[in-house]
Structure 1
Amino acid sequence: MPSVLLVPGRGIARSEHWQERWSRELPDCRWVPRPGRYFDIVTRVAALHQAIAAEPEPPVLVAHSGGCVTVAQWAAEHRLPVHAALLVAPPYLDPGWTPGPDDPPEERFPAVVHTGRLPFRTVVVASRTDPWATYEQSVSYASGWGAVLVDAGDAGHINTAAGYGPWPVGVRLLADLLR
């Protein structure tokens, strides 16, 4: 059975977050190292590449928020085998966005989120009330990535603040991808 690599988002997940729970409770489920305090797409993609290369079999990638952007960027740059990916609540990054004066200069996001077809089976879980992406933006990502879209309904950012510690639906989606 493939291992599961958890791809971190921008912030540090609380211990109650579903990804944190999975890292403790599910077998063969571990974090891709989070290099540094700030989100830097170059170091995040390098860490993901190193983690995938170290796996004896193609892994399942499970990303939340900014981790979805990391997975998409990795897929645009690398060609190691991946069994499947579960991308949860991808944030929309406006191509015209520029950092504001209060944004840390150490943070670097891709100029444009890769929206080409991903070369592995992918499921995108999108909320209709995500503060970081409209449902239509998530639909567009899923379509470009060639992913199956799961409508999570009124689920906020599918994180601890939105009530997602235990997430049985997510566990079932992961089980389907592990097959």
Structure 2
Amino acid sequence: MTRCLLVPGRGNPLPQHWMRQWAREDPAVRWAAEPTGPPYVPDEAVAALHAAVTADDEPAVLVAHSAGCLTVAFWAARHTGPVAAALLVTPPQVEAFGAIPRTPLPFRSIVVGSRNDPYTTVEQFEDFARDWGAELHDAGAVGHLDSATGFGPWPDGERLLSALRLGQSSTP
């Protein structure tokens, strides 16, 4: 089983957030950097991700939520390292952090989009997936897929992560 690095967004996930649950329940799931909460500073987030990715030669699967997805895109535009795949959950359309890289990621990736996310439209999720060369997984109307919208447990995300870690297809 491949190691997994969690890439937090700009907020500090609540204890019941699915990322926190995954980190508690699976010793192979670690934080690329422990979430600190706002403000989100892209260069600091990218540096922390780079340190985590290159700390081990074993390939990693990155799991990013919200602004953490932007961290992965910024990292991939500047660095290389042993990354096998990425699960990019509800990336926000936020230009305040600079132009978001729109080139294909050099590893397999899945963008998870929500039909009623307050930070990104369905069309913007489609654009992210196309530009990054990622599969698009429509999670339905699930808000921002965070604690505020009831995610806690996220079995569908666990299935997607498992498929990426095992190098399998994400579709049943």
In the alignment, is the contact (CA less than 8 A) between 2:8 and 2:35 conserved in 1?
Answer: no
Which residue number corresponds to residue 70 of structure 1? 71
Tell me which residue corresponds to 1:113: 100
Does residue 154 (structure 1) correspond to residue 155 (structure 2)? The answer is: no
Root mean square deviation of aligned Cα: 1.2
Task: Specify the alignment match of 1:103 in structure 2.
Answer: none
Helix, strand or coil at the partner of 2:110: strand
Could you tell me which amino acid in structure 2 is paired with residue 2 of structure 1? T
Max radius of gyration: which structure?
1
- SS at 1:61 equivalent: strand
Q: Which amino acid in structure 2 is aligned with residue 145 of structure 1?
A: W
Q: Partner letter of residue 169 of structure 1?
A: D
**Runs of 4+ deviating beyond 4 Å:** 34-37
TM-score normalised by the chain length of structure 2: 0.92
- The 2-side partners of 1:8 and 1:55 are apart by 20
Gaps of 5+ in 2: 167-172
Report what 2:60 is aligned to.
59
Instruction: State the Cα distance separating 1:54 from its structure 2 match.
Output: 0.5
Aligned to 1:90: 91
* Contact residue 128 and residue 151 of structure 1 kept, 8 A: yes
1:19 corresponding residue in structure 2 = 19
- Contiguous gaps of at least 5 residues in structure 1: 98-108
User: Conserved in 2, the CA contact under 8 Å of 1:123 and 1:149?
Assistant: yes
- Percent identity (aligned): 52
Give the equivalent residue in structure 1 for 2:2.
Answer: 2
CA contact (8 A) 1:35 1:47 kept: no
Which residue of the other structure, out of 156, 169, 172, is the alignment partner of 1:169? Answer: 156
Paired position in structure 2 for 1:139: 126
User: Is contact 1:35–1:43 with CA below 8 Å preserved after alignment?
Assistant: no
User: How far apart in 2 are the matches of 1:113 and 1:88?
Assistant: 16
